[in-house]
Amino acid sequence: MQQNNWWRGAVIYQVYPRSFMDSNNDGLGDLQGIISKLDYISALGVDAVWISPFFKSPQKDFGYDVSDYRDVDDIYGQLSDFDELINKAHEFGLKIIIDQVLSHTSDQHAWFTESRSSRENDKSDWYVWADAKEDGSPPNNWLAIFGGSAWQWDPQRKQYFLHNFLPSQPDLNFHNPAVQQQMLEEVEFWLKRGVDGFRLDAINFCFHDQQLRDNPAKPEALRRGLGFSVDNPYAYQYHYYNNTRPENVVFLESIRQLLDRYTGTVSLGEISSEDSLKTMAEYTANDKRLHMAYSFELLVDDFSADYLRKTIETLEQKINGGWPCWSMGNHDVTRVLSRWCGEKPSVDMAKMLNALLFSLRGSVSSYQGEELGLTEVEIDREDIQDPFGIAFWPTFKGRDGCRTPMPWDDNLAEAGFSQHKPWLPVAKEHYNFSVNRQQQDEHSVLNSYRHFLAWRKGQAELQYGDITFSSGNDEVVCFERSYQGNTLLACFNLSNKEQEILLDNTSDYIEMEGHGFDGAQFDSNRLILPAYKVFFARVLS
């Protein structure tokens, strides 16, 4: 059973393939580049690799606009490269999770080409089409995440089509049973090739309100960016009708039924809804929908002990047996060190944040470069690639700053990522954080990451245990992880100053060693934590 549930408490390492490693020196990372670094990934101590999209695509949104779900884009390699990647990853004991972008396709997908050609063809109802209002305006007030109306006029059909993201990403019509069946077949294509699971992109966007009702306005005080630009008008609405519709739950159960036929496979859903914690609980309920879900709750600008406590406790109250996956960074948001630490983040804070993430109840998604303590890169206007950033420049500069190439070797051009000019520039400051340099430094973020994960593998409480918040203050997060009668106390100083904490005086504690942190002073129930330090103790009573 534990082998089949390998994902519980697993650490998943996210690879953004364009920026991981370039094997053929064209400036873009590729599948063979990932293969060449599997030994590095394995040495981190992670359990699985999530690979962002590598499918056929015009790359308007860098692979999240799929034109063929069953083939590899030429820039990344061939299907044979993916098969090799699967086999070699499994030799290292690594699971492979791939993105599936089910809610929409590229406008260059053959299905959309046929659908837009007329109102009578076999796929005429495969996408969300609607007539204009009498004045020619869109059917309703729905907005796209990337700005402007979520409706695009198509002169060929003389109708609007729905796109929750870019106009080149038309939404599929999941109210059509044929679409649901087709998407299940696309998923199964990769199951048959041996993948271990799927990260389901924007999975709560599959269904729309068939009545096309307007979304209500959201008061200014409640508008949040959730990892995106707060000046985006998308934040001006409650998105009750263009996503997170009740019909979606039934489709998730169909996905689960398919995965249950392939032993040991897993689904991880990306959630962005009006109440993402509630949706996470709903989508993982009763062990018959998604295996895991994650949201943008720890990908926002808010950072305090109180915010972390409230967020995690709120989810624990709602999730009722479901399983979360926590993430502090990914390819869509400012790198966590820059987002939460300002202009001068410290190495100690990078180590502490990784340890905190790895200690939360649930599974973990760790974005490439977090093991190095990489910061956000300032991209010049002429180098911006992200359509999101181009649309909202200069108040929001897009997502390119977290997608720059991995720095492998500070002695090589382009930090060893490629011998060609990369699609995004390698940051000069990232040379100081290169893999080769950190491997030689016993106290580096990279070695701290490795040491902590090696230690964590021996702590069942951190992998599977319940979580209960305990002693702490405005600057220190403390919680207990309990499993099969054993309990660990974990404390994290989020501040740049020494903190003193009085622990529960009804318990006895033994300080835990071996997790790669030192400097805490512990005497009975009195704990002094230096800036950004971590403390673990076994609770005896």
HEC sequence for 119-172: CCCCCCCCECEECCCCCCCCCCCCECCCCCECEEEECCCCEEEECCCCCCCCEE
Distance CA 46, CA 50 (A): 11
Q: Which of 102, 513, 479 shows the shortest CA–CA distance to 308?
A: 479
DSSP secondary structure of 344-390: S--HHHHHHHHHHHHHSSSEEEEETTTTTT-------GGG---HHHH
Q: Give yes or no: 409 in active site.
A: no
183 Cβ neighbours under 8 A, 6+ residues apart: 102, 172, 174
What is the 8-class DSSP label of residue 217? B
| Beta-sheet strands, E only, within 204-253 | none
Distance CA 167, CA 521 (A): 57
178 Cβ neighbours under 8 A, 6+ residues apart: 126
CB atoms within 10 A of CB 431: 17
Catalytic option among 47, 99, 201, 282: 201
What is the 8-class DSSP label of residue 409? -
Distance CA 363, CA 323 (A): 8
Pair of tokens at residue 2: 């534990």
CB atoms within 10 A of CB 526: 12
- Kindly state the helix (H) or strand (E) to which residue 55 belongs, with its residue range: strand 55-56
Catalytic option among 99, 270, 370, 371: 270
Distance CA 309, CA 494 (A): 12
Q: Give yes or no: 441 in active site.
A: no
Check if the beta carbon of residue 486 is closer than 8 Å to that of residue 461. yes
Please list, residue by residue across 279-314, b when 16 or more beta carbons sit within 10 angstroms of its beta carbon and e when fewer do: bbbbbbbeeebbbbbbbbbbbbeeeebeebeebbee
Distance CA 50, CA 199 (A): 7
Q: What share of the chain is helix, strand, coil (3-state, %, to 5)?
A: 30, 20, 50
Q: Which of 471, 474, 475, 465 shows the shortest CA–CA distance to 496?
A: 475
| Partners of residue 534 on adjacent β-strands | 492
Cα 91-435-344 angle, rounded to 5 deg: 135
User: Given CA atoms 395, 400, 403, 409 in this order, what sign does their dihedral have?
Assistant: negative
Distance CA 278, CA 82 (A): 36
Return the active site residues.
Answer: 201, 270
